[in-house]
A and B are shown apart, each in its own frame.
Chain A
Amino acid sequence: MVTNRIDHKWGMVVDLDRCTGCNGCVVACQAENNLPINTKDLFLQRRTYSWIRIERYWQGQYPNVKARFIPVLCQHCENAPCEPVCPVYATYHNDQGLNVQVYNRCVGTRYCINNCPYQARFFNFWHPHWPDRMENQLNPDVTVRTRGITEKCTFCVQRLRRGELQVERAGGQRLDDQKLLEGNYAPACVQACPTNALTFGDQNDANSHIRPYFDDVNTHDIHHEYERETRGYRLMEEGATRPSIIYLKQIDQFPLEKNTNV
């Protein structure tokens, strides 16, 4: 069964044209992954946790402004800069294309945080704390991380494992894109996104929804970016980290330049 799983390579496509910046994914992630509550104190200390965050930028000058949203999460880079710098192998690449973090092994040198170009890694400065009754809503599938270690988006590996077990045990088949959608085994953010801006799938599955985007971006790399047929691009492509997440550019129906004369 394990051998069947080996040829997965998970990936995500983020369509910025669909993203409304509603922060649904952020809340879903918070609930699914037992993230501590981002209290006012944590905000003031700049130590909040958000495995997925919506970065909001303003374009233009007031009153001609537009809000731009971009969800940023761990990019699960093929060539992840965070991996070689961990002295204890607490972060490494698994055989399904995930950049995984082993909480037990982490000693908290925070070198990986420095070396992450996407700022997608989080350090537990304090011991996580929930109000009494809220501890009952913690997800039993997900570890509650102690203080002093680094954590980050896992692509909801607990859901993937459960999905894999169900599909593969029942049918003895590979978990492909079709079954992924049927069973709703996608990561919490993907499941929660009201506009389907986030799509999750297997890069190795020839029939998956996300495959064409990866094919396009892989064929026309950064040097031939202008030849791409889709809107796809990778975040900070020039860094050569080769993320497993592809962003689709926004199509601006009403660009700001046209509005300036109004």
Chain B
Amino acid sequence: MSSHSEPAHYPADMWVLPDKGQVTRDVAEKAQSSSRALRLVTLAAEALAVLAVVGFVMRWVTDGFGNYSAWGYYVAVFSFIFLVTSSAPLFAVAFRITKNHWRRPVSRIAELFALCGVLNVILYIPLIYILPPISNPNFGPDSHGELVIRRSIWMEVPFGAPHLWNFLGIVCLAVAALALLWLSALPDMAEARHTATGFRGALYRKLAGHWYGTKRQWHRQKVSLAYLGGLYFMMLIFVQFLIVSDFAMSLIPGWKDSILPPLYTVTGFQSAISLTLIIAFILRRRGGYSNYIGLSPFWSASKVQLGLTLLWTYHLFAFFITMWYGRLETEQNLIRYLIFESYTGIFWANVILIFFLPFFMLIWNPLRKSDWGPTLAGLSILCGNLLFQLRMFVAAFNAGDIYALGMTSVPPPVFPDLWDVFMVVGGVGMAALVFLAAARLFPLISVWEVKEGAMYQDKRPLFRGEYLVLAKPE
């Protein structure tokens, strides 16, 4: 078997492979092995999932679905899980389309989050009952300063808007993500369909029975992956736009902010990279995958992460300066509510965790060349993202009269009670549990991509040094 070789001394070094023929077996063995630590983590995730259910049931018992403002924290954690897990496959898609070499060992990690799409669908179902209708039920001749139909992207309120359409969007997104995972894992499943046993074997034979790796099949797989990836990208941005405008923007009276959907999407991209790198770090350090996952994914992905971090702040600033400069009453109240008064603590924590901390970590090259630097930055970004969701959605669900024309006052902040804490912490655990299950079902390394990469890379001398040579077929 392969020796546990040291990570390379400079990031250009890609993964160190054992004999190419053994990759499949090696990855399969690693995926099946279960350590004590893994069992502990699984147990913890299960416990958290139970907590989440308890929190949800208690919230339901105490407030019911009618009182939508009690559900702010639930929506926040739903949005967090949805945003992070639905953006994660994009990591694989984007870097595959741009033919980045270093993505090969980590792209499967990102794609496995497709299974969390099912969780998103389940978590969305209560929201159908929670989200208040767009038409004002209490509108009458004596209503002063109220709207018949509150501002929303569903102008004329077509049938089922927004609940049904958002639900459809999330279902379609989940299906597309699963299709993406299936397409990408197809060659790997086919290779393992005769060696794998039990449920996995049956699953692989069912899903990849027709794959023989002919030239035609390979070609079709690659083309479909590219097109499905592009489609997924567009669907993702659209559904994120629906969620953030229906559950955050349209619930705060007078909030008209065209940059919020892009800001939300950028947060998603940041989190996708963070999450993938964190898991890659764990696999590299504790999972025995250090032969596959070298330093180059950290080094290269963190460059993109740095750009996204700046982009996030840029979007936030564009929002802030436009609202602040206009001196319109609603906009002033809004930035007071979200930034300067009610949620100011959580806002600054959010900005520090999602921008300042990762930015000042990542502009430092020695840190980016390590595996723990980008991981720590990623952890900080994920925490910042959670705070961002809490700030946006809890604030939106408690902003007062949603049918008012504009914001006339600054509402106080809303703090979580025990059940809210249960739901937030437990919801994250639930997502982790789904990922752990996914990791047992599919190989954690995209075997065909790594093998393909091994063919395209070489080491050649140039002057006094030895450098990596990368082939780029058209």
Contacts and interface: CB of A to CB of B under 8 A. Distances in A.
Interface string A107-128: 0000000000000000000000
Interface string B300-331: 00000000000000000000000001011100
A77 to B, nearest CB: 11
A183 interface: no
A239 B144 contact: no
Nearest to B409: A223
Taking chain A's interface residues, is the majority helix, strand, or loop, or is none over half, making it mixed? Answer: helix
B144 A226 contact: yes
Nearest to B404: A223
In this complex, the interface size class of chain A, counting residues with CB under 8 Å from chain B, is: under 10
A79 B331 CA distance: 15
Contact of B145 (A84, A223, A239, A240): A223
B24 interface: no
B344 interface: no
Contacts of A240: 327-329
A225 B145 CA distance: 9
B408 interface: yes
A79 B325 CA distance: 12
Interface string A70-94: 0000000001010010000000000
Given A223-B145, A226-B144, A79 B408 contact: no
Contacts of A238: 406
Instruction: Name, among A223, A226, A238, A239, the residue most crowded by chain B CB atoms within 10 Å (CB to CB).
Output: A223
A119 B325 CA distance: 20
A225 B144 CA distance: 9
A238 B325 CA distance: 16
Given A223-B145, A226-B144, A239 B328 contact: yes
Contacts of A84: 325
Secondary structure at the B interface, as helix, strand, loop or mixed, is loop
Interface string A220-245: 00010110000000000011100000
Contacts of A79: 327
A240 B406 CA distance: 12
Nearest to B332: A240
Contact of B408 (A81, A223, A226, A239): A223
Interface in B372-414: 406, 408
Nearest to A227: B144
Nearest to B329: A240
B145 to A, nearest CB: 6
Contacts of B327: 79, 81, 240
A146 B408 CA distance: 44
Contacts of A226: 144
A84 B324 CA distance: 13
Nearest to A81: B327
A75 B337 CA distance: 30
Interface in B134-151: 144-145
A84 B325 CA distance: 9
Contacts of B408: 223
Nearest to B328: A240
B458 to A, nearest CB: 59
Contacts of B144: 225-226
A84 B321 CA distance: 14
Listed from nearest, the 4 A-B pairs whose CB atoms lie closest are A240-B329, A223-B408, A240-B328, A226-B144
Interface of A: 79, 81, 84, 223, 225-226, 238-240
Given A79-B327, A238-B406, A240-B329, 9 more contacts: A81-B327, A84-B325, A223-B145, A223-B408, A225-B144, A226-B144, A239-B328, A240-B327, A240-B328
6 contacts: A79-B327, A81-B327, A84-B325, A223-B408, A225-B144, A240-B329
